[in-house]
């Protein structure tokens, strides 16, 4: 994509900077025919983005989740008009202005704050699509591992809304704070307290945890493998470890956030109606992007970390102070 001569500020990959992230001046993007130019008001950070930042090409503009206002509509006539408040998903989001594909944008209701909207895209799409893939969960037992993270907290809310009996598994009692208020019927540390089989697993941890979760799955059940917080730990199944009498159990991977506009609109609508809550565990100026990244990597953020873009950013809200706020509905 060609670049204009105008510049803007953005968070880029810099292997020499703390966390491999640096806020600096870069050329402003020139949108393609099917892209709109958006003035970004807030952006949010995902654990995976921060963890793998140092593996991205130096100079790349980081981020995918954002909310803001359309400055220039797509030249091909698709997508929202100029002046529209939007929720956005696409590369280059941690910047003052970003070019997003029309099918990565949805209109944002006036009642939804930009910061709340920015916390939704990737975690919301992931939770929504994996629950859909699992089928009808009404009255079923749904186990969500790594439930204290961004995907987990959204999945707890969506599963409860769909009529499931929700079991939220976390790494420590502190990480489980607020999950009952979001709709979890049980909050457990690890998987040993789960004594009865489950119908569905949304699995965010990976490694040995994935194997243990598989063993809790009923015949005919579905395990959706979402994340791998276990880092380099493999998931090792013993001989015949996947054999099960009765209807087949299934394990599915997830990695498809393509064409997200309809789901972004659904998520924004749920927030506008007060049916789900964006879970923000850290919020502050993007001048403190390294601090936010460190808090995410240290697992000190319940939910999402949100960046206020621009010079008029609000004072940082630290994880400890927002744990209670993360339980709001």
Confidence of residue 316 (pLDDT cuts 50, 70, 90): low
Q: Is residue 266 part of a domain?
A: no
Q: Is residue 262 part of a domain?
A: no
Any idea what the CATH number is for the domain that residue 244 is in?
A: 3.40.50.720
Q: How far is CA 215 from the centre of its chain?
A: 27
Comparison of pLDDT for 226 and 4, the residue scoring more? 226
Contacts of 240 (CB under 8 A, 6+ apart): none
Kindly tell me if the per-residue pLDDT of 326 is higher than 80.
no
The alpha-helical segments, DSSP class H, found in 64-166 are 114-118, 121-134, 150-161
Kindly tell me if the per-residue pLDDT of 321 is higher than 80.
no
- Beta-carbon neighbour count of residue 115 at 10 Å? 21
| Per-residue model confidence (pLDDT) at position 184 | 98
Range of the domain at 140: 123-253
Q: Is residue 190 located within the same domain as residue 170?
A: yes
Size of the chain, expressed as the number of residues it contains: 329
Cα–Cα distance measured from residue 97 to residue 91, given in angstroms and rounded to the nearest whole number: 12
Last residue of a domain, one of 253, 269, 299: 253
Q: Is residue 323 part of a domain?
A: yes
The model's pLDDT over 159-211, given as tens digits with 9 standing for 90+, comes to 999 999 999 999 999 999 999 999 999 999 999 999 999 999 999 999 999 99
Comparison of pLDDT for 109 and 329, the residue scoring more? 109
Last residue of a domain, one of 238, 253, 268: 253
| Per-residue model confidence (pLDDT) at position 164 | 98
Residue found under tokens 């999945």: 155
The model's pLDDT over 211-234, given as tens digits with 9 standing for 90+, comes to 999 999 999 999 999 999 888 899
Q: Is residue 133 located within the same domain as residue 112?
A: no
Kindly tell me if the per-residue pLDDT of 56 is higher than 70.
yes
Q: Is residue 128 located within the same domain as residue 115?
A: no
Orientation angle between helical segments 121-134 and 150-161, nearest 10 degrees? 50
- Helix and strand numbers, DSSP H then E, in the chain: 9, 15
| Per-residue model confidence (pLDDT) at position 121 | 98
Any idea what the CATH number is for the domain that residue 304 is in?
A: 3.90.180.10
Q: Is residue 270 part of a domain?
A: no
| Per-residue model confidence (pLDDT) at position 299 | 87
Q: Is residue 74 located within the same domain as residue 51?
A: yes
Q: Is residue 134 part of a domain?
A: yes
Give the range among 57-66, 270-279, 287-296, 305-314 with minimum mean pLDDT: 305-314
Q: Is residue 269 part of a domain?
A: no
Q: Is residue 108 located within the same domain as residue 229?
A: no
Q: Is residue 130 located within the same domain as residue 110?
A: no
Q: Is residue 322 located within the same domain as residue 288?
A: yes
Q: Is residue 104 located within the same domain as residue 173?
A: no
Last residue of a domain, one of 253, 268, 286: 253
Stretch (H or E) spanning 285: strand 280-285
Q: Which of 68, 116, 45, 79 is nearest to 268 (CA)?
A: 116
Q: Is residue 9 located within the same domain as residue 57?
A: yes
Q: Is residue 49 located within the same domain as residue 87?
A: yes
Q: Is residue 68 located within the same domain as residue 91?
A: yes
Q: Is residue 113 located within the same domain as residue 127?
A: no
The total number of structural domains in the chain stands at 2
Q: Is residue 104 part of a domain?
A: yes
The model's pLDDT over 133-157, given as tens digits with 9 standing for 90+, comes to 999 999 999 999 999 999 999 999 9
Give the range among 12-16, 70-74, 75-79, 315-319 with minimum mean pLDDT: 315-319
Kindly tell me if the per-residue pLDDT of 2 is higher than 70.
no
Confidence of residue 311 (pLDDT cuts 50, 70, 90): low
DSSP 247: S
Stretch (H or E) spanning 262: helix 261-272
Q: Is residue 16 part of a domain?
A: yes
The answer to whether residues 142 and 199 touch, using CB atoms and an 8 Å cutoff, is yes
């Amino acid at each position: 994509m060609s670049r204009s001569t105008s510049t803007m500020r953005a968070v880029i990959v810099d292997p020499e900077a703390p966390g491999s992230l640096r806020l600096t001046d870069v050329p402003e993007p020139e949108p393609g025919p099917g892209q709109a130019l958006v003035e970004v008001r807030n952006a949010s950070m995902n654990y995976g983005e921060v963890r793998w930042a140092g593996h991205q090409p130096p100079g790349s503009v980081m981020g995918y989740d954002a909310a803001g206002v359309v400055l220039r509509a797509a030249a091909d006539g698709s997508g929202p008009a100029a002046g529209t408040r939007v929720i956005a998903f696409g590369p280059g989001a941690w910047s003052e202005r970003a070019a997003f594909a029309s099918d990565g944008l949805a209109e944002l209701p006036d009642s939804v704050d930009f910061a709340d909207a920015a916390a939704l895209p990737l975690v919301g799409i992931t939770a929504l699509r994996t629950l859909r893939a699992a089928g009808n969960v009404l009255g079923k037992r749904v186990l969500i591992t790594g439930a204290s993270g961004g995907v987990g907290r959204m999945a707890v809310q969506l599963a409860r809304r769909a009529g499931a009996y929700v079991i939220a598994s976390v790494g420590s009692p502190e990480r489980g704070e607020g999950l009952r208020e979001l709709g979890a019927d049980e909050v457990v540390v690890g998987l040993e307290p789960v004594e009865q089989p489950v119908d569905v697993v949304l699995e965010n941890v990976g490694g040995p945890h994935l194997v243990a979760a598989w063993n809790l799955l009923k015949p005919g059940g579905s395990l959706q493998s979402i994340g791998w917080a276990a880092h380099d730990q493999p998931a090792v199944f013993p001989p015949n470890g996947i054999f099960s009498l009765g209807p087949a159990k299934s394990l599915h991977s997830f990695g498809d956030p393509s064409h997200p506009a309809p789901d972004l609109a659904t998520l924004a609508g749920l927030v506008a109606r007060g049916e789900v809550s964006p879970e923000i565990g850290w919020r502050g100026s993007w001048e403190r992007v390294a601090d936010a990244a460190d808090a995410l990597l240290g697992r000190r953020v319940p939910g999402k970390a949100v960046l206020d873009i621009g010079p008029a950013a609000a004072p940082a809200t630290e994880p400890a102070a927002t744990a209670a706020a993360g339980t709001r509905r």
